């Protein structure tokens, strides 16, 4: 199980990216929201969609959930 976070700031394409706790692109503390502990990015992205309509997994740490 890993801890996952969503970036409060949208990317240029509108995505709020979901990152695992050990990601090199994990946003700074004030720019992220804790989502919880999940066995994969799938649950984390689903949870992030409750807060942000447009979400996506990070290409590096959540590649399984990265769609564009």
Burial of 43 (0-12, 13-18, 19+ CB in 10 A): middle
pLDDT value of residue 67: 87
Q: In which order are the strands placed within the sheet that holds 32-38? A: 32-38, 2-7, 16-20, 55-57
* 50-63 pLDDT per residue, tens: 999 999 999 999 99
Reported confidence tier of residue 6, pLDDT bands at 50, 70, 90: very high
**Mean pLDDT in the chain?**
95
Sign of CA dihedral 13, 1, 38, 32: negative
Q: Break the chain into its structural domains and give their ranges.
A: 2-65
């Amino acid at each position: 199980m890993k801890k996952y976070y969503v970036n409060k700031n949208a990317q240029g394409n509108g995505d709020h990216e979901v990152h695992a706790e050990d990601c090199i692109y994990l946003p700074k503390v004030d720019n992220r929201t804790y989502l919880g502990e999940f066995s994969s990015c799938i649950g984390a992205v689903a949870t992030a969609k409750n807060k942000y309509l447009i979400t996506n997994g990070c290409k590096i740490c959540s590649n399984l959930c990265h769609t564009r």
